[in-house]
Structure 1
Amino acid sequence: MVVKKDEQLNEVEPTSGSDNGEITKSKLKVGIVMPIAEINGCSEQHWQEVKLIIQESVRAIKEYEVTAEMVSDSEEVSVIHKTIVNNLYSNDIVIVDVSCKNANVMFELGMRLAFDKILVLIKDDKTSFSFDTGNIQHLEYPRDLRYSKIEKFKEQLRDKVLKTYIAHKENPNKSPYLEDYGSLKPAEITEKTVSQSEYLESMFYDLRSDIRRLDNRIHKENKIKTTSITNERFLFDSFKEMKDFIIPIFLDYMNLVNYEKDNIDFEGLFHFVLRKIEASNYVCTEYVLRNVLNEIVDDWDGLPF
């Protein structure tokens, strides 16, 4: 949403008082989408500095308690792609740096636009406008990160984020972008409660796909003929197959050490099973294995001792 320069800041939503008399500010969660790796001569360190500039800018907003993190960041252990999608959908506002026109950044920008959620676009002064987003206002900063100009940019970004968010809060049903393209309906994310087994099954498939993508990426980057990791080591075809494979190993361990359910040496069990899996040339992450073993222990009474 474009806000005119001469438009004054509207009064922000009221804060509430806490039990000890202190004023509690409303929270504002700002997501950041930007390049993180070397591209077009801009190093990884360059992007770390840009990220810090963005964070310093929005954290200077005094009207709210602001958090500003990459949309890929999460306090919980989760599959990174799900974290990105959920944050792109749920963050109050997202700042997108389209400098160098990084493919991942442009893809995540497209998702935020598809959700019809408010955002602020920024770019460096060496990057040209993209045709598809040229009608959305961009804030510009110097690629060389010159101090005097960066200080001015930080003020502009702070004000832009605040104005955009306030305007949205005052008229939450107004479409920021899609209304300009006719009667389009924003994409939505639905939530449902699933069992532990269903959750682990979903996580298992996501991790399995990640391993294949990583293998393909390494193979392409090396640009040499190598043996694929997915040929040298095996991937379980399903969570059930993985669990069925582990149960006999679990039973062997329990018979070997003569343990009962209430006094299992879980770390000993974990490392015993992990060695067996690796010896069989299967791929399994520590996090998934621990969850599978916990589920097997919970299902103790149904095991064929």
Structure 2
Amino acid sequence: MSDPKPTCFIIMPISTPGAYHERYKQDKDHFKHVLDCLLIPAVEEAGFEAIPPIAEGAEHIHAKIISTLTDCDLVLCDMSILNANVFFELGVRTALDKPVALIADSETAGSPPGVPFDVSNINFHTYNPSLTAWETKDEIPALVNHIEKCVKSSDSRNTLWKYYGVTQKGMLNPEDATVSNKLDLILTENTNLRSDISALQRRMNLASHESSLSRKEEKKRLAKILNVDDPDNAEIYLNNRLFHVEIADTIVPMLLTDLLDLAEADKKNIVFSKAGSGIVRLVDQDPLSPKTVTTKTTTTQPPDHTKFSSSRDPE
């Protein structure tokens, strides 16, 4: 039976933030593709068992990450986009005085602010993030060479420690964690969770309030165009937010907000082909049009189109 392969834990950005989609050609799963197409193949070709980033599934994700950072033979650290979680994990690994192979894509290394000064003076490998087939063909062997060099030069130690002559290193001793320590952690996590829930509730309340204000504003705009005194009289027309506008013998679908903008811009009134329906026409405003609108029609002979009309109060 062959000896088990040494392990290499890959720490890197797990997701691709929206701010970087343009940089990576709108690839929302860019770093997943980097992991699958470049990092794992290179790690395995270098003779290691690849351990991908831990994103979910662990009972306590932080404990699992710390344990893996402690136990693995090598960490491959991708510093691309300067992800805070990645640098935290790099710090833990460094404190343990264990070997790390540093890499970053050329977009991060070549764009301000670049790789932080603290680690930029350590040998790190730059790769092309395009992931095209012809580029990957060359990138994988280059990364394999970098990993092998890091392992050979590290002598099972962390490069930063060797360069700066640090001698005291961190130790992971789970047995030292008392019941009281664990309860404190649980209480802290519970407090953070309650804080997050409260913040979410506040955001939901604010969004609901803003939505209510927006709806009131739409009712006022619609009432103004329909010459309705009471905005609540326009409520029924807000229930059907997609209207069909008769324009030159053509029916054009239009959202309520766009319809209101068009009517205001052209100084038109909205006339419904059928009261309460979503089929409307735009007609010229009548400066003497009444301020109260009714929607009654005759029952004996209904007209083809019901217009909003009323009589003015006698003076």
Q: TM-score, normalised by structure 1?
A: 0.54
Match for residue 33 of structure 2 among 41, 45, 49? 49
Change (3 A) 1:26 1:69: closer
Structure of higher CA gyration radius: 2
Q: Specify every segment of 5 or more residues in structure 1 that has no aligned partner in the other structure, as ranges.
A: 1-17, 19-23, 228-305
Asked if structure 1 preserves the Cα contact closer than 8 Å seen for 2:15 and 2:32, the reply is no
Paired AA for residue 31 in structure 1: F
Counterpart Cα distance in 2 of 1:154 and 1:45: 19
Aligned length: 194
Change (3 A) 1:88 1:218: farther
Counterpart Cα distance in 1 of 2:167 and 2:200: 39
Match for residue 142 of structure 1 among 119, 125, 128? 128
Give the 3-state SS of the residue equivalent to 1:192 in structure 2.
helix
Give the 3-state SS of the residue equivalent to 1:27 in structure 2.
coil
Aligned counterpart, 1:130: 116
Match for residue 54 of structure 2 among 72, 81, 91? 72
1:102 matched to 2:83? The reply is yes
Residue 223 of structure 1 deviates from its aligned partner by 7.8
Match for residue 224 of structure 1 among 174, 185, 203? 203
1:118 matched to 2:99? The reply is yes
Counterpart Cα distance in 2 of 1:209 and 1:226: 26
Asked if structure 2 preserves the Cα contact closer than 8 Å seen for 1:219 and 1:226, the reply is no
Aligned counterpart, 2:43: 58
Paired AA for residue 96 in structure 2: F
Matches within 5 A, 1:1-305: 18=1, 24-39=2-17, 40-42=19-21, 44-52=28-36, 53-61=38-46, 64=47, 66-72=48-54, 77-127=58-108, 128-168=114-154, 171-172=155-156, 176-192=159-175, 198=179, 202=182, 206=185, 208-214=187-193, 216=195, 224=203
CA deviation profile, 1:103-162 (whole Å, cap 9, x unmatched) = 111111111112121111111111122111111122112232233222222112222223
Counterpart Cα distance in 1 of 2:136 and 2:194: 39
Q: TM-score, normalised by structure 2?
A: 0.52
Give the 3-state SS of the residue equivalent to 2:119 in structure 1.
coil
Give the 3-state SS of the residue equivalent to 1:139 in structure 2.
strand
Counterpart Cα distance in 1 of 2:124 and 2:198: 37
User: What percentage of residue pairs aligned between the two structures are identical?
Assistant: 23
CA deviation profile, 1:182-215 (whole Å, cap 9, x unmatched) = 44411111242899xx59x83x654554454455
Q: Specify every segment of 5 or more residues in structure 2 that has no aligned partner in the other structure, as ranges.
A: 22-26, 109-113, 207-315
Paired AA for residue 68 in structure 1: A
Change (3 A) 1:68 1:223: farther
Counterpart Cα distance in 2 of 1:46 and 1:32: 16
Counterpart Cα distance in 1 of 2:51 and 2:203: 37
Counterpart Cα distance in 1 of 2:203 and 2:177: 43
Give the 3-state SS of the residue equivalent to 2:14 in structure 1.
coil
Counterpart Cα distance in 2 of 1:31 and 1:150: 21
Change (3 A) 1:146 1:222: farther
Change (3 A) 1:102 1:74: closer
Counterpart Cα distance in 1 of 2:144 and 2:169: 27
Give the 3-state SS of the residue equivalent to 2:66 in structure 1.
helix
Give the 3-state SS of the residue equivalent to 1:89 in structure 2.
helix
Asked if structure 2 preserves the Cα contact closer than 8 Å seen for 1:178 and 1:186, the reply is no
Change (3 A) 1:102 1:194: closer
Residue 166 of structure 1 deviates from its aligned partner by 4.1
CA deviation profile, 1:215-239 (whole Å, cap 9, x unmatched) = 5557668982759xxxxxxxxxxxx
